[in-house]
Structure 1
Amino acid sequence: MKTRLPTIAAALAALVLAVLVVTPRSAQAATGFHVAEGRLYDANGVEFVMRGVSHAHTWYPGRTGAFADIKSVGANTVRVVLSSGDRWTRNDAADVANVVALCRQNRLICVLEVHDTTGYGEQGGAIALDRAVDYWLSVASALTGQEPYVIVNIGNEPYGNQNYGGWAADTSRAIQRLRAAGFAHTLMVDAPNWGQDWSFTMRDNATSVFASDPDRNTLFAIHMYGVFDTAAEITDYLGRFRAARLPIVVGEFGHNHSDGDPDEATIMAYSQANGIGYLGWSWSGNGGGVEYLDMVADFDVTRLTGWGQRIIDGVDGIRQTAREATVYGSPIPTASPTVSPTVGPTTPPPGPGSCVATYSIGNQWPGGFQGEVRVTAGGTPISGWTVSWTYADGQTISQVWNATATGAGPSVTARNLAYNGGLAAGASTTFGFLGVWQGANTVPVLRCVAS
C-alpha cells in the first residue's frame, strides 16, 4: 500500500532559516489548536506533543476498532488516511464525521490527511494540492467546530522527486484557500520528495510559507525514512526548524525501509528531548513490500511486531512519552523539577569578541539526564563558538543536537554548526545533549571561546 521511491541527491548547500517573529491575524482567536514560537498548543493553551501512529482508514474502512486499540497502547494522536476519491474510494462527509467521532470517543487527537496527493508529478494518478483543497471544502460540514480535536494535514507527500519546484507556491495557495473558506484549524503541510525533503525545498521555504498563512497556524511535517539514516541528518534538519522557531513534526517514520535504514532511535530521542511530535507509519495493513512497517499483525493489538514493540514500548516510545490532550479533561501537566545552575561570569557582561556559556539540567532520571548549554555573545558579533568542559564525576555525553561534540571520557568540546555560529552582540543560541551519570551529577565549569 505504502511505497516510496526517493532518489537520494547530492546534498545541497545549506541555507539558514531566518528567525521569524510574526503576529497572528487574531492573537488567540483560534478556537482549537494553534502554534506559537515553533510550538503546538491545544485549545486550553497547553503545549501538545503528538505521540501516535497513522491508520489506513480509507483502505480498511471496516477496521474502526483500530481507534480504541491505538488509544490502548498509550497514543494521544492518530493520523487518519482519507481519500478524495481520485485514486481510492472517497471518504464522504458522513464518514469523516464518524472518524472524528471515533477519535473523540477514544480521546485521541485526529490528524486527517488526503492520500491521493502522494508523489504528485511522478506517481501516476496523483492529484495536486488544489484538488486536495477541493476535497476539504466538500467535507467542511464534518470539520466545522472540531478545531479543538482535529488537525488538517492538507495532502500526503505532495510531489515526488520530479517537478517539485512549485511546492512552496502550491502549499501557500492551498493554505490561503482553506483560510478564505473559513477553516480555522491548525493546518499540517507535508514536504515534497515523497515527504523526505532531500532537496531542502520545504526547509528553505518554510519561513515564507508560514508567513503566507493569515492565521500563522501552520505546522510542517517531515517524513523520515532512508534519507534520514544518520543522527547528524536528523538533528540538523529538525534543529534548523527549532532554531528558527518554526513548528515541525515527524509526520511519518519507520524502523526500516526499502530506500535505507532510518535511525529511529535518534528520531525518537531527539523528538522527545526537544518537544517535537512524531507519528509512526503505520498501525497495520501495509502491502507492496513494506509489510514490515506494520506495528501489529492483522490489526490484532495483542500481536505487536518488532516495529510495534520498538515504537510503543521502547525507549522514548509512545507508552512512555505520550500525554493526553487536556481538551479531554486530562490534568494539565506540571513541569518536572529542573536544575538550572549558571556557570562562568555573568556580570559584568562578556566583553567584545567573547562569549559566555551557561549549563542547565532539564531532566534527570536514574543513570541518565538531559542537559542544555546556552551560548551568549559579548559586546560585538561573533562568527563561531567553542564550549568545553570536564565532568568531575565521570559523566559522559551520549548524544548532542545543534552542535558537534568531540572528546574522550568526561572531557567534552562542543562547536557550533553552520547555522548557529554567527551571533549578534548579546544574542544567544542553545544546544542540547543526553548524558549518562552514576552516583553524582555535579555541574561542570564551562569555558567558551569565540571566533
Structure 2
Amino acid sequence: MKTRVFAAIAALLAVLVSVLAFIQPAHAAAGFTVSGGQLIDANGNPFVMRGVSHAHAWYPTQTGSFASIKALGANTVRVVLSSGARWTQNTASDVSNVISTCKQNRLICVLEVHDTTGYGEEGAAITLDQAVSYWISIQSALAGQERYVILNIGNEPFGNNASVSATWPTATRNAITRLRDAGFDHTIMVDAPHWGQDWQFIMRDNAQSVFNSDPDRNTVFSVHMYGVYDTAAEITDYLGRFRSANLPIVVGEFGHNHSDGNPDEDTIMSYTQANGIGYIGWSWSGNGGGVEYLDMVTNFNAASLTSWGQRIFNGANGIRQTSREASVYSGNPTTPPTTRPPTTPPTTPPTTRPPTTPPTTPPVTTPPAGTRTCTATYAVTGQWQGGFQADVRVTAGSTPISGWTVNWTFGNGQTLSQSWNATVSSSGSAVTARNVAYNGSLAAGAGTSFGFIGTWNGTNGVPTLRCTAS
C-alpha cells in the first residue's frame, strides 16, 4: 500500500515539475507588466523610465540620435510616429528598424502615434480609434517585441474642447479593448486629454475604471506637464493621487519652459525620483513652431547641449544621475521606492495650452536699423554643497537684434567652471557672457538661453544682470 502511495506522490510531483518547467520559460518570454502601481520588466524587476522623445516621423534619417540619447544616459526613448493622416506614414518595416535600433542601443522603445494630437480642437487630428487601426496595420512589426516596446496609443488625444474631451474615458477604454482583441500583449500607455495636461482631471478621476477595463491590467497613464504644472503643489498632488491609488503614472512629456507658462521642472524631476515615477522629456532636437527652446541639443548634435539639455541630462535628479538600464539588457534589478507622497489640495490650472507643433524652418531675419535692446534673467536651476547650476534667459526687445552681451558681478564670491550656449569670461567677480554664432540673432520679443556650472560658499545670491544688444 505504501509503495503505491509513494508511487502516486512521485507521479504527482513529476507532473508538477513538468508544469513548472513549462510555465517558467513562458514567464521569461513575457513583456512588461504592471504590479502594485509599478511598471515591471520581463525579468520581474521594477523599471523607471528616464528618457526623451525623438521626432522620428519628422526626421526619419536621424537614426544616429538613438545612440546619442543612450550615450547621455537615457534608458528610454519615446519615438514619434505618424499613421499617415497628418504626416508621412511610418511603415511596418520602418517601425521594425526603429525597434531594432532601440534594442541595439539597449533602450526601451515607447512608440506613439502623433496624429491624434489635440483631437476636437485641432481639425486635422485623428481619433484614438483611427490610431488603433494604424497599430493593427503594422502589428507584424510589434509582435514578439513586448520585452522592449511600450505602446503609447496616441499623443495628447484630445484638446480643450469640453464636450469632446469628456469622451476620453470611453474612447480610451474602447481603444484598449480593440488592441487586446487584436492580440496585442504589450504594456499600453495612454495620454491624458487637454493636450496631455488633464487640467480638468478627467484622466485622473477615471483612471481606475480605464485600468480595470484592460483585461491584462497592463495599462500605464501618461500626463504631460507644461504650464499647467508651474507649482510644486500641483505636481505633487496630481502624481501623488495616482501613487496613493496604486495606479501606474509617468510624466510622458515635460519641458523647462512653454508658451502657456513655466513648468516647475525641478519639482517634476525630484518628485518622480523620490517616488519611483518615470519621466520622458520633450524633446531631443528639431522643434519648430515657436517651441525651439525645447530642443535638448542643437541640430541633432549631442556635443552641443542646450541649457535644457544640460538640465535634463546632467542636472540634479537628471537622467545621468538617476537612469538605470532595463534589466532585460543588463540583468541588474532596480530598487523600488518606498516613499509615498503627501496629498495637497489641487489648485485651479489655466484652461488653455497650445499644441506642441511639428518642426518648421524658422526664417532668417536681418535686424533693421533702430534701437536694439535686450533683457536677461538669472535662475539657479540646481544647487548642491559647494556647487550650483544656473540658467540665463536673454530676450530681445521690440526690435530684432543680431547679437547680445550679458554682464554681471557676483556678490558672494561665486566662480564659474563650465558654460554652454555662450562665450563666458570672468575677471575676479565680474562676468561677461556673449552669444555664440547660432543664438545671437533674435527676432523682436524672441529669446534664447545659456547656462553654466559654478561654485559657491556660504551664500549664493542672485546677481543683477545687464544686457546689451547689437
Q: How many residues align?
A: 321
Instruction: Look up the match of 1:402.
Output: 342
Amino acid in structure 2 at the alignment position of 1:295: M
> Is 1:31 equivalent to 2:30 in the alignment?
yes
Cα distance per residue 1:128-175 (max 9 Å; x no partner): 000000000000000000000000000000010002010000000000
Instruction: Look up the match of 1:146.
Output: 145
Instruction: Look up the match of 1:40.
Output: 39
C-alpha distance in structure 2 between counterparts of 1:403 and 1:198, whole Å: 17
Cα distance per residue 1:63-87 (max 9 Å; x no partner): 0000000000000000000000000
Instruction: Look up the match of 1:317.
Output: 318
C-alpha distance in structure 2 between counterparts of 1:332 and 1:211, whole Å: 28
DSSP-derived class of the 2:116 partner: coil
Instruction: Look up the match of 2:108.
Output: 109
Instruction: Look up the match of 1:298.
Output: 299
DSSP-derived class of the 1:209 partner: helix
C-alpha distance in structure 2 between counterparts of 1:241 and 1:334, whole Å: 20
Cα distance per residue 1:282-338 (max 9 Å; x no partner): 0000000000000000000000000000000000000000000010134234689xx
Normalising by the residue count of structure 1, what TM-score does the alignment of the two structures yield? 0.69
Instruction: Look up the match of 1:448.
Output: none
Change (3 A) 1:168 1:333: closer
Change (3 A) 1:123 1:403: closer
C-alpha distance in structure 2 between counterparts of 1:29 and 1:140, whole Å: 22
Instruction: Look up the match of 2:227.
Output: 226
Instruction: Look up the match of 2:83.
Output: 84
Change (3 A) 1:335 1:198: closer
Change (3 A) 1:30 1:243: farther
Amino acid in structure 1 at the alignment position of 2:80: V
Change (3 A) 1:291 1:51: same
Instruction: Look up the match of 2:280.
Output: 279
C-alpha distance in structure 2 between counterparts of 1:72 and 1:301, whole Å: 9
Instruction: Look up the match of 2:266.
Output: 265
DSSP-derived class of the 2:70 partner: helix
C-alpha distance in structure 1 between counterparts of 2:119 and 2:336, whole Å: 43
Cα distance per residue 1:398-424 (max 9 Å; x no partner): xxx4156xxxxxxxxxxxx69xxxxxx
Amino acid in structure 2 at the alignment position of 1:250: V
Amino acid in structure 1 at the alignment position of 2:34: V
Instruction: Look up the match of 1:127.
Output: 126
Change (3 A) 1:231 1:144: same
C-alpha distance in structure 2 between counterparts of 1:240 and 1:321, whole Å: 23
Is the Cα–Cα contact under 8 Å of residues 30 and 184 in structure 1 kept in the other structure? no
Q: How does 1:228-377 map to 2 (within 5 A)?
A: 228-333=229-334
Is the Cα–Cα contact under 8 Å of residues 32 and 187 in structure 2 kept in the other structure? yes
C-alpha distance in structure 2 between counterparts of 1:122 and 1:108, whole Å: 34
C-alpha distance in structure 2 between counterparts of 1:161 and 1:52, whole Å: 27
DSSP-derived class of the 1:53 partner: strand
DSSP-derived class of the 1:156 partner: coil
C-alpha distance in structure 1 between counterparts of 2:44 and 2:274, whole Å: 21
DSSP-derived class of the 2:197 partner: coil
Is the Cα–Cα contact under 8 Å of residues 115 and 125 in structure 2 kept in the other structure? yes
User: Deviation of residue 260 (structure 1)?
Assistant: 0.1
Amino acid in structure 2 at the alignment position of 1:54: S
Cα distance per residue 1:201-223 (max 9 Å; x no partner): 00000000000000000000000
Amino acid in structure 2 at the alignment position of 1:133: V
DSSP-derived class of the 2:223 partner: strand
Amino acid in structure 1 at the alignment position of 2:60: P
C-alpha distance in structure 1 between counterparts of 2:175 and 2:190, whole Å: 10
User: Deviation of residue 124 (structure 1)?
Assistant: 1.5
C-alpha distance in structure 1 between counterparts of 2:101 and 2:27, whole Å: 27
Instruction: Look up the match of 2:59.
Output: 60
C-alpha distance in structure 1 between counterparts of 2:334 and 2:133, whole Å: 38
Instruction: Look up the match of 1:98.
Output: 97
DSSP-derived class of the 2:169 partner: helix
User: Deviation of residue 245 (structure 1)?
Assistant: 0.3
Cα distance per residue 1:332-363 (max 9 Å; x no partner): 34689xxxxxxxxxxxxxxxxxxxxxxxxx7x
Change (3 A) 1:65 1:316: same
Amino acid in structure 1 at the alignment position of 2:253: E
C-alpha distance in structure 1 between counterparts of 2:190 and 2:317, whole Å: 25
Instruction: Look up the match of 1:198.
Output: 199
Amino acid in structure 1 at the alignment position of 2:313: I
C-alpha distance in structure 2 between counterparts of 1:88 and 1:73, whole Å: 29
Cα distance per residue 1:180-202 (max 9 Å; x no partner): 01000000000000000001000
C-alpha distance in structure 1 between counterparts of 2:150 and 2:280, whole Å: 13
Instruction: Look up the match of 1:118.
Output: 117
User: Deviation of residue 28 (structure 1)?
Assistant: 6.5
DSSP-derived class of the 1:303 partner: strand
- Stretches of structure 2 that go unaligned for 5 or more consecutive residues are 1-25, 347-383, 386-470
Instruction: Look up the match of 2:459.
Output: none
Amino acid in structure 2 at the alignment position of 1:104: K
Is the Cα–Cα contact under 8 Å of residues 296 and 308 in structure 2 kept in the other structure? yes
Normalising by the residue count of structure 2, what TM-score does the alignment of the two structures yield? 0.66
C-alpha distance in structure 2 between counterparts of 1:211 and 1:239, whole Å: 20
CA RMSD in angstroms, aligned pairs only: 1.9
Change (3 A) 1:259 1:44: same
DSSP-derived class of the 2:286 partner: coil
Instruction: Look up the match of 1:161.
Output: 160
C-alpha distance in structure 1 between counterparts of 2:71 and 2:28, whole Å: 33
Amino acid in structure 1 at the alignment position of 2:318: G
C-alpha distance in structure 2 between counterparts of 1:112 and 1:37, whole Å: 24
Change (3 A) 1:335 1:201: closer
Is the Cα–Cα contact under 8 Å of residues 117 and 126 in structure 1 kept in the other structure? yes
Is the Cα–Cα contact under 8 Å of residues 55 and 282 in structure 1 kept in the other structure? yes
Is the Cα–Cα contact under 8 Å of residues 37 and 247 in structure 2 kept in the other structure? yes
Change (3 A) 1:228 1:334: closer
